Chains A and B, each alone.
Chain A
Amino acid sequence: MKTLGLYSDLDLSLIPHPLTGDLSPKKDAEAVARSVKHLVFWNAFDMPFDPTLKSAVKTYLFGQNNGITRSNLETDIHWILTTLEPRIRLKNIDIKEAMQGRAFDITITYALVSLNRDESVNFIVERVR
């Protein structure tokens, strides 16, 4: 799909372009998807002087993986995305148990407000210790 260049963001993986050697910016839907994923993993104090801006996904990972926990996580994700990501309109957050209770399978579906299309991101969050 052709990018419009409405949104452009720095790729924090900092991998240079194999031909030019420059860092390639992430654009449009890809940039927004990065941002959404980033916000889900946001810890308290990632925003200096404002520890209230956080998603507690890491805390929930080490709790019981049941319906109540997943519902709480969904509330947190909903709150942080509606608070800090004005480029999207949230449509659905689907969280499933994965890896026999050691992980969450998270799918976030949203509409890109300025680009007038729906997108979704999916990722699995697993505790490793």
Chain B
Amino acid sequence: MQNLPVQSLKFDNIKENFKEFLRGQSAYTDYNFEGSGVATLLNISSYQTHYIGYFVKMLLDEAFSDSAHTRGAQLSHAKRVGYIPKGKRSASAEVTLKIHTNLADEPASHFLEIPRGATFVAANNNQDQRVFTVLDGSTIYKREVSGSNVTYTSEPLAIYEGTLETWNFKVDSSVLNQRFIIRDRTIDVDSIRVRVKANEFSTNWTEFTLASQISDLDETSNIFFVSTDEHGYYQIFFGNGVFGVQPSNGNYIETTYVSSNGETGNGAKVFAFNPVGSGALAAYSNFETLTLSNAAGGREEETVEELRFAIPNHWRRQNRLVTEGDYRSILLSEFRNIDSMNVWGGEEHIRRDYGKVYVSIKPRNAERLTALAREQIRTSIVKKFGVVGADVVFVDPDFIEVELTVNAKLDLRKTSKTLPEMIALINDRVSEFNTAQLSKFDAILSDLALLNTIKKDDETFVGLYDTKVLTKNYLHLHNSTSSQDVAFGNALIPASIKSSAVTVAGSSLTIKDDGAGLLKLYRADGTVHSTVGSVNYTTGTVTYSLPSAARITGYELSSYGRLAFSGVPLTPDVGTSLNNIVRISKVKVVTG
């Protein structure tokens, strides 16, 4: 069989190999002619070999997550490592609800209940109407009386796009391996709430919670697990009486969840409370909804390619938060509203802080996380997956604002555009670069990439260069004399640093560096008032301490003020580190 090699699974190659083999005999020589009987047999043999080879290859492909093509196989791999594939996810938003009424109509108890399933309506990015649902009920205690009017103001509420749906099951022990499958593709798995009662007519419910790991469970734990069935539907199952309570025959199970429209829920900004179906609140009519964060985080179900990426990642992080990568992986998969994120250990922080983990998140449609979002991350993610002793510190993103001056020498004979049109074009291209390349953690402003984006093989540009001034805003607490660090994260040119105006005892002063590493307060006439800090030009760190009487100009009546420092970077590229995000805030185009 030396001349019958195994080289390929393609039909044509297999047949060619068979022909090569038959050349070694003389009994049947017509194998080269397609109409012959031998050729017919060759076709059958080659097709069979090809078929079996293909079948075995597909079988092996599906046996590994790396190579599986079918969703069913990926779901099976996910189950093996304890990963719950994500279906549709609801967009979530944060709102505060105010209910205006009068003293005669308010409840005697002086609190109001917002029940689970209460809804808000809003329009998404495409102006399609979407319903947002309160998943976990809340009680309003905050009450303000003004004359005969009363206003109840809720705590910040997390609301989720979609409507509340319910599936009920009855436990039947005569069914072997009874499965509780929720046959709904629109389910947001994070929103599943399960409660169990003794029978159909019982009025006492026991709430069951989703178990994420088995180690801390016993026979009294009211928990349920979620996995997917072979068709991709979510199924819930309960403990076995050792790890978690096992519902008994005749028990009635109610599963409630949000039926989501996925990513089409994103972008809703203005919400209106819908009193229908909101219990006692239906008796009121004057509602006001304040939006704390726009709807974001809605997404479609994971594709096969996303599953291929997520399954090994889930296995790698082992359901715990230890390394930086664990934090990234879990926060990105569990928290909905992340546009960009950075995580670093306290040992890398600007002032070393061992044993702590610093997390900085830039949410979508906003610059900073709300307090409710931080609390959600702390309670539902870090507490659930974190290891004992690890302290998580949330740091707001710190923006390095770049004031860019583009100097372009143009040959307008090579274009049909006018000079103002060319200036507008440069502005557009800078804006495009800012959106596509910057405004996220770890994204550096590469001068070369910026100039390439501006030029784009356009022959009109004869010369092109830019200059940059970096600005950082710092929230300065008035009366504080402790030293503060403002980190530019980039080497700065000496004698280029200055601040916004500071008022001390009625006179307007400015902080500037003297070129030798000292920060000084200068009067308007250029004389020095006092030395207020130092600069490390290499690391780009400005350390200052203002006198307690100093006030940031424009914020004199407030307890804090926004102090802006600016400096010229030493290198054309602007790098980022830790919680810094670089973005272009102003563009000036100079042509010649």
Contacts and interface: CB of A to CB of B under 8 A. Distances in A.
Interface of A: 6-12, 25-26, 31, 34-36, 38-39, 42, 46-49, 53, 84-87
Given A47-B34, A85-B33, A10 B11 contact: no
Given A10-B28, A25-B27, A53 B34 contact: yes
A86 B33 contact: yes
16 contacts: A7-B30, A8-B26, A8-B28, A8-B29, A8-B30, A9-B38, A12-B41, A35-B30, A39-B34, A46-B40, A47-B34, A47-B43, A48-B11, A48-B43, A48-B46, A87-B33
Contacts of B34: 39, 47, 53, 84-85
Contacts of B36: 9-10, 31, 34-35, 38
Interface string B479-490: 000000000000
Given A7-B33, A26-B37, 13 more contacts: A8-B26, A9-B30, A9-B36, A10-B41, A25-B28, A39-B34, A42-B35, A47-B43, A48-B50, A84-B35, A85-B33, A85-B34, A86-B33
B47 interface: yes
A11 B29 contact: no
Contacts of B38: 9-10
Interface in B12-37: 12, 26-30, 33-37
A84 B33 contact: yes
Given A8-B29, A12-B40, A35 B11 contact: no
A28 B43 CA distance: 22
A124 B121 CA distance: 77
Contacts of A84: 33-35
Given A8-B28, A10-B38, A38-B40, A48 B33 contact: no
A49 B27 contact: no
Q: Which has the most chain A C-beta neighbours within 10 Å: B12, B29, B34, B38?
A: B34
A35 B35 contact: yes
Contacts of B29: 6-9
Contacts of A26: 37
Given A9-B38, A48-B43, A48-B47, A35 B27 contact: no
A36 to B, nearest CB: 7
A51 to B, nearest CB: 13
Contacts of B50: 48
Contacts of A12: 37, 40-41
Nearest to B50: A48
Interface residues of B, number: 19
A10 B43 CA distance: 14
B37 A11 contact: yes
A31 B46 CA distance: 22
Given A36-B35, A84-B33, A86-B33, A9 B46 contact: no
Interface in B143-194: none
B123 to A, nearest CB: 52
B43 A9 contact: no
Nearest to B34: A84
Given A9-B38, A47-B43, A48-B46, A35 B33 contact: yes
A4 to B, nearest CB: 11
A38 B38 CA distance: 12
Interface in B27-79: 27-30, 33-38, 40-41, 43, 46-47, 50
Contacts of A48: 11, 43, 46-47, 50
Nearest to B29: A8
B27 A8 contact: yes
A107 B569 CA distance: 92
Contacts of A36: 35
A48 B35 CA distance: 14
A-B residue pairs, 10 tightest by C-beta: A35-B35, A9-B30, A39-B35, A12-B37, A10-B37, A84-B34, A48-B47, A9-B36, A38-B35, A10-B38
Contact of A85 (B11, B26, B35): B35
Contacts of A8: 26-30
A61 B47 CA distance: 29
Contacts of A38: 35-37, 40
A128 to B, nearest CB: 23
A12 B40 CA distance: 9
B331 to A, nearest CB: 50
A6 B50 CA distance: 31
A30 to B, nearest CB: 11
A108 to B, nearest CB: 12
A76 B392 CA distance: 79
A105 to B, nearest CB: 21
A9 B27 CA distance: 8
A87 to B, nearest CB: 6
Contacts of A25: 27-28
Contact of B37 (A6, A9, A53): A9
Contacts of A11: 37
A42 to B, nearest CB: 8
Contacts of A53: 34
Interface string B491-516: 00000000000000000000000000
Nearest to B15: A48
| Best-buried of B27, B29, B30, B38 by chain A (most CB within 10 Å) | B30
Nearest to B40: A12
Contacts of B28: 8-10, 25
A39 B30 CA distance: 14
Nearest to B48: A48
A35 B420 CA distance: 78
B35 to A, nearest CB: 3
Contact of A34 (B12, B27, B37): B37
Of A10, A46, A84, most buried by chain B (CB within 10 Å of CB) is: A10
A49 B51 CA distance: 12
A31 B30 contact: yes
A21 to B, nearest CB: 16
Contacts of A47: 34, 43
A23 to B, nearest CB: 10
Contacts of B46: 48
Contacts of A31: 30, 36
Nearest to B12: A49
